[in-house]
Amino acid sequence: MAELDPGWDVGGGILNGGYLLSVVGRAAVLESPHPHPVALSASYLRAPAAGPATLTVVPGASGRTLAHSLVTLADADGPALTVQTTTATLGSGPSEYSHPMPEVPPVEECFSVAEHRDLAPAGVQVPGLSLRVDTRLDVATAGWAFGQPSGEPVLRAWMRFADGREPDPLALLTFADALPPTSFARGNLGWAPTVQLQVLVRALPAPGWCLVEARSSEISGGWVDEDYRIWDSTGRLVAQSRQLARAPR
């Protein structure tokens, strides 16, 4: 059982997909011999209601290095999310190869989504999510908030929990779907519901702010992808995600 917190909404009472994935990740780890989620692939069947939810973990193949399971998150109306999970033990040893972190202005020169709720464009509701995850947009990717979208479907922001909790692997599952839709950067401020989302957690994050970048490669036929890379405060790549979503109209 879990209690889905209504404060993690993205507007209209819809709960954030990354938050839901972290609830699933916690359940997977509790039932696994291994302590960390390293790969989660989720199908989003429908938006679950806030409140009580059931988590069903079906263990799969398991070995010395990793364990698989299938987790279903359901509310009173039935299954909302089915997730294939792989758990293992993450290290914090050095990388053999790591994609470098992009150049971004320091946190204090970035655009706080929570502190600019009044600036939200007409029709855009600043979600509860922004109060839980302190999100500081690189101004180079925040033009849409001032009516000047860049046209390039890329968003970047520093992120940490607003309550001061340091990042951990479950936090990275949340951050991996916590930016606004990339379509915002093209001036399209509608909601982009997630259909499938895969998150890979690659290392234990260091304390401090994470840098989160989302990018789309193809928008067509009513579909959009969102591709995330996340670096920790030391500049190490600690997570990646990719989702297929319905493109906002």
| Chain contacts with its own copies (rule: CB under 8 A) | 38-39, 41-43, 45-46, 60-61, 65-66, 68, 70, 79, 82, 84, 86, 90-91, 93-99, 153, 186, 195-196, 198, 200, 202-203, 216-223, 225, 227, 229, 237, 240, 242, 244, 246-247
Q: How far is the CB of 141 from its own copies (least distance, A)?
A: 15
Output 110 or 192, the one with its CB closest to its own copies: 192
Burial of 176 (0-12, 13-18, 19+ CB in 10 A): buried
Output 26 or 246, the one with its CB closest to its own copies: 246
Q: How far is the CB of 29 from its own copies (least distance, A)?
A: 16
Q: How far is the CB of 197 from its own copies (least distance, A)?
A: 9
Our CA angle for 67, 239, 155, nearest 5°, is: 145
Q: How far is the CB of 216 from its own copies (least distance, A)?
A: 7
Q: How far is the CB of 51 from its own copies (least distance, A)?
A: 20
For 188-192, the CB contacts below 8 A with 24+ separation are: 188/247, 188/248, 188/249, 189/121, 189/123, 189/124, 189/144, 189/248, 190/248, 190/249, 191/10, 191/11, 191/12, 191/14, 191/248, 192/224, 192/226, 192/245, 192/246, 192/247, 192/248
* Beta bridge pairs of residue 58: 70
Output 113 or 171, the one with its CB closest to its own copies: 171
Output 125 or 217, the one with its CB closest to its own copies: 217
